Amino acid sequence: MAYEFVDNYREKGARKQLVAHLRKRGIEEEAVLAAIGKVPRHFFFDKTFWNQAYKDIAFPIGDGQTISQPYTVAYQTELLHIGKGDKVLEIGTGSGYQTCVLMELGAEVYTIERQENLYKRTIQVLPYMGYTPHFFLGDGSRGIPEHAPYEKIIVTAGAPFVPEIMLRQLTIGGILVIPVGDAKEQKMVTVIRTGDNEFEKIELDTFRFVPLVGDQAW
Ligand code: SAM
């Protein structure tokens, strides 16, 4: 994959159109829209496919994985209600696009990816773009207990169930956003930790994610 780090005027125009499209689709939080408007998504694409970068579509990034659809990124981000300085665990770094959006909102991001090629790519590309999250390589289906607790946890791959071990890594008042379902489709689920042993679960819209693979997953 050949990266060309050029943030030219034409691409900025396309990004504005993407933001307008997301607003029309129902994304309301201005800070989330502004973050999407700031991250140069074409940096994650080979130059040949730059014309696809600001379409509201998922796109292959190699190793059988995809960069998430902008609407999905905005939808999950909105559910997290990120505040400046929030410590956020992201499971499934993928291209790193979602990571950048979280960081634009002021989050301190711990991000884990199980595929080595993707991990190796993001540890180069993101710092080059000016984003320096804490990168991890491995199975994130158990969270990262060593660095817990987190104010927010986002899972960017489809899980068969909500892993109990992840819930235990949330602060009181913390929020987990995770797609849960079968191989074909998943419901977006948010779980809020309301007390030591109290959790509030809400099921939302249907999405299609690549599977979360690991110890507490498929
Ligand atoms: N949000 C990402 C982006 O913006 O590019 C896309 C994420 S992609 C839809 C899901 C990612 O989760 C894939 O890169 C996949 O390898 C990763 N993944 C799946 N199971 C995982 C696990 N147990 N631990 C860490 N990463 C995992």
- Evaluate whether residue 41 is within a structural domain: no
Q: What is the Cα–Cα distance from 165 to 192, expressed in whole angstroms?
A: 14
* Per-residue model confidence (pLDDT) at position 144: 98
The model scores a pTM over 0.85: yes
Q: Give the residue ranges of DSSP H helices in the chain.
A: 9-25, 30-38, 70-80, 97-104, 116-129, 164-167
Domain boundaries, position 173: 58-207
Say if residue 3's pLDDT is above 60: no
* Per-residue model confidence (pLDDT) at position 87: 98
Least confident of 12-16, 66-70, 152-156, 197-201: 12-16
- Short-list 136, 124, 198, 212, CA closest to 168: 198
- In 163-183, which positions are buried (b, 16+ CB within 10 angstroms) versus exposed (e)? beebbebbeeebbbbbbbbee
Least confident of 46-50, 139-143, 182-186: 46-50
Q: Which atom of ligand 1 is nearest to the CA of 95?
A: 5
Q: Count of domains in the chain?
A: 1
Pocket probe for ligand 1: among 93, 117, 125, 216, the residue whose CB has the most ligand atoms within 8 Å is 93
Pocket probe for ligand 1: among 99, 114, 118, 216, the residue whose CB has the most ligand atoms within 8 Å is 114
The CATH number of residue 169's host domain is 3.40.50.150
* Pairwise pLDDT comparison (12 vs 163), residue with the higher score: 163
* Per-residue model confidence (pLDDT) at position 18: 97
* Per-residue model confidence (pLDDT) at position 2: 45
- Evaluate whether residue 185 is within a structural domain: yes
Q: What is the Cα–Cα distance from 75 to 68, expressed in whole angstroms?
A: 11
Q: What is the Cα–Cα distance from 142 to 162, expressed in whole angstroms?
A: 10
Centre of ligand 1 to C-alpha 9, Å, is 31
- Evaluate whether residue 104 is within a structural domain: yes
Say if residue 187's pLDDT is above 90: yes
- Evaluate whether residue 1 is within a structural domain: no
Tell me which residue has its CA closest to atom 27 in ligand 1.
92
Q: For this structure, is 95 an active site residue?
A: no
- Evaluate whether residue 45 is within a structural domain: no
* Per-residue model confidence (pLDDT) at position 13: 87
Q: What is the mean pLDDT of residues 13-34?
A: 96
| Average confidence score pLDDT of the chain | 94
Q: What is the Cα–Cα distance from 75 to 90, expressed in whole angstroms?
A: 15
Least confident of 61-70, 91-100, 168-177, 208-217: 61-70
- Evaluate whether residue 19 is within a structural domain: no
Residue 47 confidence class, pLDDT cut points 50, 70, 90: confident
Q: What is the mean pLDDT of residues 28-43?
A: 96
- Evaluate whether residue 189 is within a structural domain: yes
Q: Which atom of ligand 1 is nearest to the CA of 115?
A: 16
- Of 15, 19, 33, 68, catalytic: 68
Please give all residues whose beta carbon lies within 6 A of any atom in ligand 1, as ranges. Answer: 65-68, 73, 91-92, 94-95, 97-98, 112-115, 118, 139-141, 156-157, 209-210, 212-214, 217
State percent of the chain over pLDDT 70: 95
- 110-154 confidence digits (pLDDT tens): 999 999 999 999 999 999 999 999 999 999 999 999 999 999 999
